[in-house]
């Protein structure tokens, strides 16, 4: 007697006999080789479901981390053996058939002998051959847990035109598809299921939906003609032929002359009537897209990657789906592919170098390729990090310089910089100059003394006495702004030498030496255009403008301990303290470039306005 425990409802019929899903059971029906091959060859969705993931796992390849000569030898060996292409072919076979393999041929030993990796020498790998599970047959499974080949076949067998050849499992690298639920020792072979085993129904439904929609296209528009007494016309063969010939001629006239001739007035019951019916396809794209999404979800591939199209819809970027997919592929590289080829990698190292040097490793190159803007933003962050480390004096200059060199050489921010480093004969950093030898920018005051050595600008390791802080930049093209202001009707303008932008105004004491040097240098230019407004702050009439560099610098000084007495920081230049009769709503804000000089550090002077020169 079988007892079952399930949810049932006598009111709705849930789980009872009238529930259509009550007797649904999953029955495993293996898909044979012919069906899998036909689907892969004839259905584009099935082919992409098989090919995309292995291709993405291998397309950016990997980077060996070692001495350049060793890396060059390894990469040359991989290229000569066609390793990347062979891995792709083997992984595709594994996903399609449920099993693929790479047969490693060596110049030493027999195929039936165990391949002891430690005995391989330089150039000992003769070939790498890719086989599917149907081309290499597995023997009895090794059940001894003490064997290094536990769970693998005790041997493989390859059948050729001249007979069969047994192969030791140490010479075969397996690639699987969808794992089976039972343990490998309980299986009749060492392989897995095809990826298409579970997803082919979803793939077929997506393909069928597109085919059904395509079949509706010829029926999109139908001509309907009502003929009185039609049954009588069809009662004998002669009249039927007359009727057929008549409408064939009518169709020909409509095609040639764009008109249709009918009998009668088209309204009375005795006359023929004509109408045209059209099918609506408004919701069909959503239906087709739904089935494609289901198929993509079954294959674990985003729709944007499966279809090779940009995401559609308002504010749709697809970045989240793409990054999640890349993270998924990266995880498969680490969790599945790396362990699967670990033995092969050791053979490659022996083949390329003759041994396995300690400390040699590789990493899979990232799949996401940043844009030029993203590269520049990351480069700026890394450069600022290097500057902070240099200022903190926690990292020796020589060590930090080597690290920066490695970053610049390995990035593509500055093409050719690796060769420039090779021709650079002097040290990467110079000796620490004295304070008397440095200019206001932290570099040697004598340009000829700088040579090709750029020392890191370092702050004093001891804290300076805190004091109030006022940081500003003078406006170098003040005359242009004042000329514009006069044209707008403003009077009593600020003197040209006093036009400036305030970056920090901290009444609270700050250790100036904790403020990192500015990255913009002696001049900061705000390009023409962009958001500009005229506003009144108290008695002051100011020109508001946008500058991410000034915003970032304001935050950086704030992180060093500076305070700010206003809710937000908005870069501006004070034009005048006398608005007069000018209506600011009618003023066209200055739209030209704003060029500011170097940063000026000073203590806060709350009586600064009284010391201003006479207005212009």
Q: Is the pLDDT at 580 greater than 60, yes or no?
A: yes
The predicted-structure confidence for 187-198, as pLDDT tens digits, reads as follows: 557 899 999 999
Cβ partners under 8 Å of residue 462, min gap 6: none
Q: Is the pLDDT at 336 greater than 70, yes or no?
A: yes
Cβ partners under 8 Å of residue 304, min gap 6: 310, 311, 318, 321, 322
What's the average model confidence in pLDDT over 542-569? 90
Cβ partners under 8 Å of residue 373, min gap 6: none
Integer Cα distance of 176 and 98 in angstroms: 6
The predicted-structure confidence for 271-321, as pLDDT tens digits, reads as follows: 777 777 777 777 888 888 899 999 999 999 998 888 887 655 434 445 677
Alpha-carbon separation of residue 77 from 73, 111, 196, 361, 544 (angstroms): 6, 22, 34, 16, 62
Give the burial class of 387: count Cβ atoms within 10 A of its Cβ; 0-12 exposed, 13-18 middle, 19 or more buried.
Answer: middle
Residue 224 β-bridge partners? 275
What's the average model confidence in pLDDT over 232-256? 84
Integer Cα distance of 595 and 606 in angstroms: 26
Q: What domains can you pick out in the chain, each with its CATH number?
A: 30-220+283-367 (no CATH), 227-278 (no CATH), 372-450 (no CATH), 467-611 (3.90.1140.10)
Ranking 91-100, 130-139, 212-221 by mean pLDDT, the lowest is 212-221
Ranking 22-31, 222-231, 428-437 by mean pLDDT, the lowest is 428-437
Ranking 127-136, 463-472, 497-506 by mean pLDDT, the lowest is 463-472
Question: Where is 15: in which H helix or E strand?
Answer: none
Closest CA to 51 of 295, 343, 291, 299: 299
Q: Which residues are catalytic?
A: 500, 502, 572, 574
Integer Cα distance of 199 and 39 in angstroms: 11
Q: Is the pLDDT at 115 greater than 90, yes or no?
A: yes
The predicted-structure confidence for 386-418, as pLDDT tens digits, reads as follows: 888 888 778 888 888 888 888 887 777 788 887
Q: Is the pLDDT at 350 greater than 60, yes or no?
A: yes
User: Alpha helix (H) ranges present in 300-371?
Assistant: 303-307, 319-332, 338-340, 342-353
pLDDT of residue 397: 84
pLDDT of residue 23: 67
pLDDT of residue 21: 62
pTM score of the predicted model: 0.59
pLDDT of residue 202: 93
Contact 46, 40 (CB under 8 A): yes
């Amino acid at each position: 007697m079988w007892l079952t425990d399930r949810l049932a409802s006598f009111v709705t019929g849930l789980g009872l006999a009238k529930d259509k899903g009550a007797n649904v059971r999953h029955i495993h029906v293996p898909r044979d080789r012919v069906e899998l091959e036909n689907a892969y060859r004839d259905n584009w969705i099935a082919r992409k479901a098989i090919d995309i993931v292995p291709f993405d796992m291998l397309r950016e390849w990997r980077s060996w981390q070692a001495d350049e000569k060793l890396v060059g030898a390894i990469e040359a060996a991989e290229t000569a053996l066609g390793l990347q292409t062979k891995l792709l072919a083997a992984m595709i076979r594994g996903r399609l058939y449920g099993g693929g393999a790479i047969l490693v041929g060596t110049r030493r030993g027999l195929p039936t002998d165990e391949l002891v990796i430690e005995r391989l020498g330089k150039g000992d790998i003769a070939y790498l051959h890719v086989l599917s599970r149907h081309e290499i047959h597995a023997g009895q499974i090794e059940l001894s847990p003490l064997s290094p080949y536990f769970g693998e076949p005790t041997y493989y067998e390859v059948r050729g035109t001249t007979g069969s050849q047994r192969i030791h499992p140490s010479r075969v690298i397996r690639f699987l598809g969808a794992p089976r639920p039972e343990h490998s020792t309980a299986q009749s072979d060492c392989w897995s299921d095809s990826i298409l085993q579970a997803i082919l129904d979803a793939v077929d439904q997506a393909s069928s939906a597109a085919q059904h929609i395509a079949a509706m296209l010829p029926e999109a528009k139908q001509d309907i003609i009502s003929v009185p007494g039609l049954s009588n016309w069809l009662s004998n063969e002669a009249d039927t032929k007359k009727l057929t010939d008549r409408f064939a001629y009518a169709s020909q006239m409509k095609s040639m002359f764009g008109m249709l001739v009918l009998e009668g007035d088209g309204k009375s019951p005795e006359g023929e009537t004509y109408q045209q019916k059209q099918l609506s396809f408004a919701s069909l794209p959503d239906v087709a897209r739904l089935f494609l999404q289901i198929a993509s979800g079954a294959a674990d591939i985003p729709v944007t990657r499966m279809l090779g199209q940009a995401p559609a819809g308002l504010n749709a970027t697809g970045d989240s789906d793409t990054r999640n997919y890349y993270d998924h592929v990266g995880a498969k590289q680490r969790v599945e592919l790396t362990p699967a080829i670990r033995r092969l990698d050791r053979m490659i190292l022996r083949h390329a170098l003759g041994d396995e040097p300690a400390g040699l490793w590789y990493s899979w190159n990232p799949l996401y390729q940043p844009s030029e803007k993203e590269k520049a933003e990351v480069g700026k962050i890394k450069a600022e990090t290097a500057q902070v480390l240099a200022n903190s004096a926690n990292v020796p200059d020589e060590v930090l310089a080597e690290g920066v060199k490695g970053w610049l050489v390995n990035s593509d921010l500055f093409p050719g910089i690796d060769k420039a480093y090779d021709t650079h004969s002097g040290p990467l950093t110079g000796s620490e100059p004295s304070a008397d030898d440095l200019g206001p920018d932290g570099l040697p005051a004598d340009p000829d003394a700088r040579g090709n050595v750029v020392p890191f600008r370092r702050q004093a390791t001891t804290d300076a006495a805190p004091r109030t802080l006022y940081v500003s930049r003078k406006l170098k093209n003040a005359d242009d702004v004042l000329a514009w202001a006069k044209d707008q009707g403003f009077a009593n303008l600020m003197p040209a030498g006093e036009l400036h932008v305030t970056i920090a105004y901290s009444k609270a004491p700050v250790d100036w030496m904790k403020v990192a040097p500015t990255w913009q240098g002696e001049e900061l230019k705000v390009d023409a255009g962009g958001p500009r407004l005229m506003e009144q702050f108290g008695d002051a009439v100011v020109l508001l403008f946008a500058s991410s560099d000034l915003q970032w610098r304001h935050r950086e000084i704030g992180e060093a301990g500076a305070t700010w007495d206003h809710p937000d920081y908005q870069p501006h230049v004070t034009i005048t303290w006398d608005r007069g009769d000018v209506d600011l709503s009618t003023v066209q804000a200055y739209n030209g470039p704003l060029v500011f000089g170097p940063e000026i550090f000073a203590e806060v002077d709350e009586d600064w306005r009284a010391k201003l020169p006479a207005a212009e």
